Amino acid sequence: MDNQDCIDQAGLWSLSARIMTLACLIVFMAQMATTVYLPSLPVVMTDLAITRLEAELSISLFVIGAALPLLFWGAAADRYGRRLPLALSLLLFVGLSLLLATTSQGPLLLILRTLQGVAAGGATIIARILVRDHWQGDELARRLSVLSIAFITALGGGQWIGGIISRYAHWQLGFVLMAGVGVLALALMNSLPLQGPNPAATGGGMWSRYTSLLRRPGFLWPAFAGGLGFAITVTLQEVSPFVLQQGFGLESPPSEPWGYSSGSPILLVP
């Protein structure tokens, strides 16, 4: 099916609607995996007998793990088709989320969070590739804007849900929830016709691709500026639970809006 056929299909649950639902669900899932246990970071520190720095590091390592192999996942989606790498990344995400829900050791938490980030990053980049496969031009820009809305929603919504979990349940329940979302994404993926391998896909290792990109100032400096802005946002997210709960004595009930306020700096990132 070509791009225009996909765009022209109408209906509440048309092919185009399912593709966008899957893409938004994956983007929401990946970002929520960062934010859903933010309100519980002080509890995580106590339960696993780790330092505040190590608790905060579990957020940073997830983001780093998601970012580094993006070119690898993109190349795999071209070489092997969209379905296999997406299924692999989602299965890894589900399995690692379930392991995180049972871990009781700080070092293991950090390792699993890094690997979970790798899986989440793969699913997220392929979700964007799916959108690119089916839309072009102005319509593609509009669809990618919808994905950005899902990303922003997860920044605040994930912390709000995490506040509920922190108040009424155990922080590890958040990872069970993430595993459930991953299973839902897998089920939806299986109902979609996805693009197969691209015979024209070029070879080359991941590091050679990174080297090629780093030689392009038109890519490097905007990427650096955007990465710096996001790093500031992640840092604010990491420290906000400790500042708000330990510094100001605030709890994280679901009625409090502080989860949204701590996610709001992303709106300032260009």
What would the pLDDT profile of 125-149 be if each residue is shown by its tens digit? 999 999 999 999 999 999 999 998 9
Residues 6-15 have a mean pLDDT of: 59
Identify the pLDDT of residue 231: 72
163 vs 233, which has greater pLDDT?
163
Q: How many C-beta atoms lie closer than 10 Å to residue 145's C-beta?
A: 9
Confidence band (pLDDT; 50, 70, 90) for 268? very low
pLDDT above 80 (res 167): yes
| pLDDT tens-place string over residues 51-104 | 988 988 898 899 999 988 888 898 888 889 999 999 999 999 999 999 999 998
226 vs 84, which has greater pLDDT?
84
Q: Are 104 and 40 in contact (CB under 8 A)?
A: no
Q: Are 266 and 226 in contact (CB under 8 A)?
A: no
Residues 145-165 have a mean pLDDT of: 86
Give the list of residues 6+ apart from residue 190 with CB closer than 8 angstroms, or none.
none
Give the list of residues 6+ apart from residue 101 with CB closer than 8 angstroms, or none.
172, 173, 175, 176, 179
Q: CA 231, CA 116: separation in Å to the nearest integer?
A: 19
Identify the pLDDT of residue 245: 63
Q: Which residue has the tokens 């970012």?
A: 67
Q: What is the CA radius of gyration of the chain?
A: 19
Q: CA 88, CA 40: separation in Å to the nearest integer?
A: 29
Residues 186-211 have a mean pLDDT of: 75
pLDDT above 50 (res 263): no
pLDDT above 90 (res 7): no
Q: With the CA atoms of 131, 116, 67 and 174 taken in that order, what torsion angle do they form, in degrees rounded to the nearest 10?
A: 70
Identify the pLDDT of residue 246: 63
Q: How many C-beta atoms lie closer than 10 Å to residue 48's C-beta?
A: 18
Q: CA 11, CA 163: separation in Å to the nearest integer?
A: 36
Predicted structure pTM score: 0.82
Token pair of 243, please?
A: 């500042």
Identify the pLDDT of residue 179: 96
Least confident of 171-180, 183-192, 203-212: 203-212
Longest CA span, the chain: 59
Confidence band (pLDDT; 50, 70, 90) for 200? low
Q: CA 220, CA 24: separation in Å to the nearest integer?
A: 27
Give the list of residues 6+ apart from residue 49 with CB closer than 8 angstroms, or none.
106
Straight-line distance from the first to the last Cα atom of the chain, in angstroms, rounded to the nearest whole number: 36
The one-letter code for the residue type at 128 is R
pLDDT above 70 (res 264): no
pLDDT above 50 (res 262): no
27 vs 194, which has greater pLDDT?
27
Residues 220-246 have a mean pLDDT of: 72
Identify the pLDDT of residue 250: 61
Confidence band (pLDDT; 50, 70, 90) for 181? very high
Least confident of 125-139, 165-179, 241-255: 241-255
Average pLDDT of the chain, as a whole number: 81
